[in-house]
Structure 1
């Protein structure tokens, strides 16, 4: 089979299912950077030490344990809107409330209370991600997962842009309390999407009991995949360096002398367009060159863009250089994430979608939380240039492990393998 033409690919990008994937990506991406970039800027302004700011990465622990509640979401169906949309609607309401309350705390008076509400935002956000991942996997065919992932990444990055870039600009003039209230209100598009999107029909029965919902996904995953342990290790390593570097970029920019408005306008708003093109390029590239070569190429480019941050230390606060590095990082990040998400989606069995996908994405989130907690001390000890170089080199183990999957990762234009 030959790869599809570019005209066919563009038509597939704008179906109703793809639009829903993009809108759900927005709802998923918005809360993530509220507890990273925006909260980091708030804590930095409040005079919190760099080491303590790094420790705040631990509030993201819920992203690494999504598999604990996923079986309940596979097994039980809320009374309204169906299994996936019912859970989504409740979680999005709770998430909006937690974001609003986080903005009412004060880092000067009670840093522990800030951590508690940041943890609640991360918890409800991680639970929402679990359902959104399952919804996307079940509503798209196997050969649509790559394109769906790229549109999801596009929406995800828009949400991140609004939370970080828009949030920083708004905080510059209106303060952080009003900014977090505005972010809570921006969960409304997600709620509307949940109400009007169709409930996916997988033609798979619900797990007969909770024990099956808990044990079945793990038994199926490890028994049907010869490379199961290597797959899990690859998922842990593939975006390790990129994720660790991103955790500390906001303090890095502020220390170099960029203002919050500079970061919001250049780092977030300008970089958004690079992400848009990167997401489209990633979705098309997966189908044109296949999963294996896409993961290799995009992973290598991600590592190079991470190393490029070291150059900014020597240029100083020059907006032109900042724009170039950010465009490169966002473009390659969009491509790499699209390939990575598509890879994970095709590994799941639709009978246990939420739990299996939660297991994979929980591993993906480990670097962002447990390992990222030490990045503040790494930056202090290594210095900024060496910190980013080391993060770039951390991409090498994942790329080397990828060679073990070459035999079953499908090339472009061929049907997917069923048992990796």
Structure 2
């Protein structure tokens, strides 16, 4: 039975700050900077291309073993390995976000893009250590509520960087906005620094050849996944599940600003309703997964994800209507919360006990990589084919995932897959 004592409350506070730090950085990349780029006069095609800054989140598996096993020398020997990495990355993130507004976007677009990619790399590296720290911080009985606090912390960080940052830009220059957002990282760093960390490397790692190290940490986890029945179809499901949402996210702010909504209206209505919808959707999704057959839940979640993209066509007809804006964003984020829980649970079901963290990193990278590769084309599609075709195309990205869900679980299914 779960007992809420002082020790658990301290760990929940740490989990909240872990999620908040991650949410601030991710919202900065996918939301705040999009509004900044749009207001600076960049074309939709260029704004879409700037989404490559999230690519490190898709490729983080390739350096995750280094984060997991390399001991930083700048911290004391008794200082936790996970905390060392998170704190160091957050210190770099503070400097990078603080200084982003000092780059002249008109004359130095390449430098701005490079700094955003660096911020993406720092954020992805921090997330590698964050996920491992989260798993090790809580016992099996505490993991459910601990994961929930990380998710809610992420939503708080998204509010700070996405909603509050957007509102600040209506009364302050963007340079000052970025400086203030960077300051919000410091409380997260302080709480994590004062929190316990079970991962302390006091002994020197055993010597091994590079070939053995490469085989143990990179090749064996991949081979074990490839040997699963219907591996290709499963990877297609993971790669294209919710990819339409990511495609839409890159262009949602530029679209709303283009049809007449002010930044304060977007922050006050669209972003607030999105946050509330995501919180409720996450809760409802958790309940539905425990009640319904998982293959039905997976199919329904992806159908909802495709349909909700099409509802933005309503705004093309009614233009500036705050009530419809709030309703559409609430519904879209509510369904996003459901599909997000469905995807995380689906990927977790394929993780073996031997390679749990590594398997999840691989599957998460596959999911994120497809989004990172497709999102840069969103601006080109919107600019050349119009918003109506853009929303239709974004919904069609669900077709490969839906088709493979059918092939895996309904057509001549003779394999013993999870959640069959």
- State the TM-score, normalizing by the size of structure 2: 0.85
Q: Is the 8 A contact 1:153 1:337 kept in 2?
A: no
Which residue is equivalent to 1:157? 155
Alignment of 1:339-350 (within 5 A): 339-349=342-352
Alpha-carbon separation, structure 1, partners of 2:92 and 2:133:
19
* Match for residue 41 of structure 1 among 7, 32, 35: 35
**Alpha-carbon offset, residue 247 of structure 1:** 1.1
Cα deviation digits, residues 21-49 of structure 1 (max 9, x gap): 44322211211121222112112111112
In the TM superposition, what is the alpha-carbon distance from 1:296 to its structure 2 partner? Answer: 2.7
Tell me which of 70, 74, 79 is aligned to 2:68: 74
CA contact (8 A) 2:97 2:182 kept: yes
Q: Which residue of 2 aligns with 1:410?
A: 419
Residue matched to 1:220: 221
Match of 2:381 in 1: 378
The aligned runs of 1:235-314 (5 Å cut-off) are 235-289=238-292, 291-314=294-317
Moved more, 345-354 or 266-275: 345-354
Change (3 A) 1:350 1:252: same
* Match runs of 1:295-374 below 5 Å: 295-349=298-352, 352=355, 354-374=357-377
Q: How many angstroms does 1:325 deviate by?
A: 0.2
CA distance in 2, matches of 1:405, 1:187: 44
Q: Distance in 1 between matches of 2:83 and 2:291?
A: 33
For 1:167, the equivalent position in structure 2 comes to 165
Structure 1 counterpart of 2:17: 23
Contact 1:71–1:213 at 8 Å: present in 2 too? no
Output the CA distance in 2 between the equivalents of 1:270 and 1:168.
Answer: 15
In the alignment, the residues of structure 1 paired with residue 163 and residue 16 of structure 2 have an alpha-carbon distance, to the nearest angstrom, of 19
* In structure 1, distance between residues paired with 2:181 and 2:43: 26
Q: CA deviation at 1:139?
A: 4.5
- Cα distance in 2 between the residues matched to 1:329 and 1:376: 20
**Match for residue 112 of structure 1?**
110
The 8 Å contact of residues 74 and 353 in structure 1, kept in 2 or not, is answered as no
Question: Does 2:379 match 1:395?
Answer: no
Deviation at 1:374? 0.7
Q: Separation in 1 of the partners of 2:182 and 2:78? A: 23
**What 5-or-longer segments of structure 2 have no aligned partner?**
411-415
> CA 1:289–1:146 in structure 2 vs 1: closer, same or farther (change >3 Å)?
farther
SS at match of 2:417: coil
SS in 2 for 1:269: helix
The Cα of 1:326 is off from its aligned counterpart by 0.3
Contact map agreement 2:57 2:120 (CA 8 A) in 1: yes
Distance 1:51 1:367 in 2: 18
1:62 aligned onto 2:62? no
Question: In terms of mean alpha carbon deviation, does 125-134 or 259-268 score higher?
Answer: 125-134
Give the distance between the partners of 1:57 and 1:64, measured in 2 at CA: 12
| Higher Rg | 2
Using the alignment, how far apart are the partners of 2:124 and 2:404 within structure 1? Answer: 28
For 1:86, the equivalent position in structure 2 comes to 84
Secondary structure in structure 2 of the residue aligned to 1:174 = coil
RMSD value over aligned CA atoms?
3.0
**How far has the Cα of 1:114 moved from its partner?**
1.3
Q: Where do 5+ consecutive residues of structure 1 fail to align?
A: 1-7, 412-420
Partner of 1:127: 125
TM-score, normalised to structure 1, is 0.85
Residue deviations 1:61-102 (CA, integer Å, cap 9, x gap): 212210121110222233453232221111111111111111
Cα distance in 1 for residues equivalent to 2:206 and 2:303 = 40
